[in-house]
Structure 1
Amino acid sequence: MKIDSTMAAIVTGGASGLGLASVKALREAGVKVAIFDLNPESGEAAAAETGAIFCQCDVLSDESVDAAFAKAREANGQERALICCAGGGNAIPTARRDKKTGEINIFPSDQFEWVLKLNTVGTFRCITRAAAGMMTLEPVDGERGVCINTASAAATEGQMGQAAYSAAKAAIVGMTLTIARDLSREGIRINTIQPGIFNTPAMSRATPEMLEALGGMVPFPKRLGDASEYASMALEMIRNGYINGETVRLDGAIRMQPR
């Protein structure tokens, strides 16, 4: 699919990190972009920086997502590309014994459910709305639109404490081919990027020494990924009409250790 000024796109989690890098890459190509993000302050700042529009959006809510899609389409027209970067996680062991007291604590079920709802259900919620809108468009070169999801190395090599995050991201990987098959007759493609360790605001609490150690875990190149490299992959998945139903690792060949 050609990426140019005739295209409208939506990026969830677009106010920072991988999402913001994707917004910038799309805008550089002339695309009309709507940033979906929960944080109005960072969302408005990202919109001002990039020339995109900001639509406050909570991917946990049908009503919020529907309102954000309506605002984006009123401003930019029906989107042909969706990049889903909204998500998050926690770090809680499945069951843990306190070393001092011996007390045994378990992973709270509501916290497990929240991570799945934020990542998996939130992603799926946005895909359904985007797909329904894309189905109203006439095909261009045989296709109506493209959706890009974000998984994680944790989908296949979750570290200790990442049970919920691993499950949520593995579900995104697992549903990719099925959704591609569901939407194939409508000329809509869907792919997933499975990033490793990237230098994003989520890493801001790490010390320089920790960041260096994390980069050293990557076989080659021995560094953290740059958000622009994620954006480059996302745009290639939009451009290349034969990439469909795929999950592509973007991780410098790293395989995560237990901790």
Structure 2
Amino acid sequence: MDLKGASALVTGGAGGFGEATVRRLVATGARVVIADMADERGLALADELGDGVRFVHTDVTDDDSVDTAVAAARELGTLRAAVIVHGGPAAGKRIVGRDGNAYPASIFARTIDIFLTATYRVLSKSAAAMAGNDPAASGQRGVVITTASIAGFEGQVGQSDYSAAKGGVIGLNLTAARDLAPLGIRVMCIAPGTFYTRAYQMNEAEAQAKWGPTVPNPKRMGRADEYAQLAASIIENDYLNGETIRIDGALRFNIG
């Protein structure tokens, strides 16, 4: 899939993975919508990258908001790619705490809404827009990349909601690829390990000292541009479809 002159949508485009992905896609000649709720960062990034890049305030848990972002991408050009990489809060508590109280189902459901239901929302709406595209020379109309986590395979203590949501994203991937295959739309999923982003709320040196030694090789946290590099490669390679790719330096979460 060649994105030169086409458009792409990146949800969470003002975040760590998202910003790196936006920069990568712009470098390939794509026009990009940065869909995020972080107005200041999103507007600054769009202003820096210039023509062909637009920030759209987007709440991925709201149908109308996602519709607006998809429409904005179509205004920039033929929508050929969507990268779903938005984040959100996860409480990180055990199902039953030391106080004997159960983790509230309402918080569990909110995490599922942000990470799983919203992923489906963006995927389905982006795919519906791509379905109307003229096929490229390869016969492809578009590609959607979702983002899971290695916690979707082996979640740690206190990650019940996050692991369930990311496991759901992994489970969605192959079915979505099969559903959309007749339309010439590919679906791929990236499952990152420990990558340094703003979500760690500490400086990079501190984060690397704490988390880097747990990674077998390279013995460091991942870099956001390494995620973006993989996303760009997936978009380019038409034979990648229906697979979840771990990018984690061979890290496997242990109980902890």
Please indicate the TM-score interval, normalised by the length of the shorter structure. over 0.9
Match of 1:63 in 2: 64
The superposition leaves residues 101-153 of structure 1 with CA deviations (integer Å, 9 ceiling, x where unpaired) of xxx11111110000000011111101111111111111101100000010001
* Residue 85 in structure 1 maps to residue 85 in structure 2: yes
Structural mapping, 1:105-120, within 5 Å:
105-120=101-116
Match of 2:152 in 1: 155
Distance 2:197 2:241 in 1: 27
Greater shift in the superposed pair: 65-74 or 159-168 = 65-74
Match of 1:125 in 2: 121
Match of 2:8 in 1: 9
* 8 Å CA contact retained: 1:94, 1:163: yes
Equivalent of 2:134, from 133, 138, 150? 138
RMSD: 1.3
Distance 1:194 1:225 in 2: 12
Match of 2:25 in 1: 26
* 8 Å CA contact retained: 1:78, 1:133: no
TM-score by length of 2: 0.95
- What secondary structure sits across from 2:234 in the alignment? helix
Greater shift in the superposed pair: 44-53 or 226-235 = 44-53
Note the C-alpha offset of 1:225.
0.3
* 8 Å CA contact retained: 2:196, 2:204: no
Q: Structure 1 residues 169, 46: closer, same or farther in 2, change over 3 A?
A: same
Note the C-alpha offset of 1:207.
7.5
Amino acid at match of 1:86: H
* 8 Å CA contact retained: 2:3, 2:80: no
Distance 1:41 1:82 in 2: 22
- What secondary structure sits across from 1:221 in the alignment? coil
Distance 2:239 2:140 in 1: 11
Distance 2:6 2:69 in 1: 18
Structural mapping, 1:1-259, within 5 Å:
1-4=1-4, 6-51=5-50, 52-74=53-75, 76-88=76-88, 89-98=90-99, 104-140=100-136, 141-205=138-202, 208-259=205-256
Name structure 2 gaps, 5 residues minimum: none
Note the C-alpha offset of 1:209.
4.2
* 8 Å CA contact retained: 1:55, 1:72: no
Note the C-alpha offset of 1:25.
0.3
Number of aligned residues: 252
- What secondary structure sits across from 1:241 in the alignment? coil
TM-score by length of 1: 0.94
Runs of 4+ in 1 over 3 A off after TM superposition: 206-210
Distance 2:246 2:103 in 1: 29
Amino acid at match of 1:14: G
- What secondary structure sits across from 1:231 in the alignment? helix
Name structure 1 gaps, 5 residues minimum: 99-103
